[in-house]
Amino acid sequence: MPDNPEANDRPVIAVSDSPPAWLPEAISAGGCQVGPLADADGYVHLTGPASLPHLPARVRWVQLPAAGIETYLADGRLDDRRVWTSAAGAYSETVAEHAVGLLLAGVRGLVVAAGLRTWRGKAVADTVSGLADTTIAVVGAGGIGRRVVEMLAPYRATVIAVNRSGRDVPGADRTVAAADLDELWDQVDHVVIAAPQTSHTVRLIDAAVLARLRPRTWIVNVARGGLIDTDALVDALAGGRIAGAALDVTDPEPLPDGHPLWTTPGVLITPHAANPRAGLEAALADRVRDNATRFASGRDLIGRIDLTAGY
């Protein structure tokens, strides 16, 4: 126990076994103290749902390490007896940057150029376009999506943000409620997917949607692979109905060797690499510190999970 008597007034936060050095430092910087789970007011979990321990009733807050929490929901580990927080928004900078990079790689012909083994200037030039005067839908305007909207500002594109509420997203030319998303597919040139995976968003991009998109459309997915019907995507790409797909996530994931996505023209795959480990740890440390500070002072926590909504 800490030698400082005032430490007794600080909330006790338990941590996963063998925590990295930054975790207790972040908890302490947030005005809490690290202690055993039996005495804990809160708990910070760093791995998957299978290793989540039995939590005493006195634990009032649990911080999870990921932005997407569908595996925890599927495992039935989240309950309404305490507050659960995800890392939603914590990784927005690096993931949004990756999303814009993927989109540029598609529209600027880099995907085609990367596969060349001989000089074929016309083959690349025929695939090159730009973002100016195009319409881009950012589906899922949470932390990542909002940052994508901000990063697209210099490219002179019309950006449509899609969120659950339909409330205006700063920087977007237009904001549309998720319930009205079906009206958009005929109006957009490119799609960036940054939405959580829930029962309402699984296979959001299916054969019917792909049939309505434009031949020059690039789809970028930095959310979860299950938001796209993979078989329908392969068919649309093979048939030339859309220009391409740049995917940091896939369904299935990891994508098996020999899967058609690896060899389908117009596909760029980065293996869930939008959030590099060094950046992930720094961002998660900031989130733990910020939420520990809020927990200690009784304020609302960042990234609070809505169990009904699924994120």
Q: Which amino acids are annotated catalytic? A: 224, 253, 272
Question: CA separation (Å) from 47 to 50, 65, 72?
Answer: 8, 7, 11
The answer to whether the bond into 254 is cis (omega within 30° of 0) is yes
- Which residues, listed in sequence order, are joined to residue 222 by a DSSP beta bridge? none
Other beta carbons less than 10 A from residue 247's beta carbon: 26
d(CA 59, CA 61) in angstroms, rounded, equals 6
Helix (H) or strand (E) run with residue 107 in it = helix 92-107
Whether omega for the bond prior to residue 252 falls within 30 degrees of 0, making it cis, is yes
Is the CB of residue 233 less than 8 Å from the CB of residue 244?
A: no
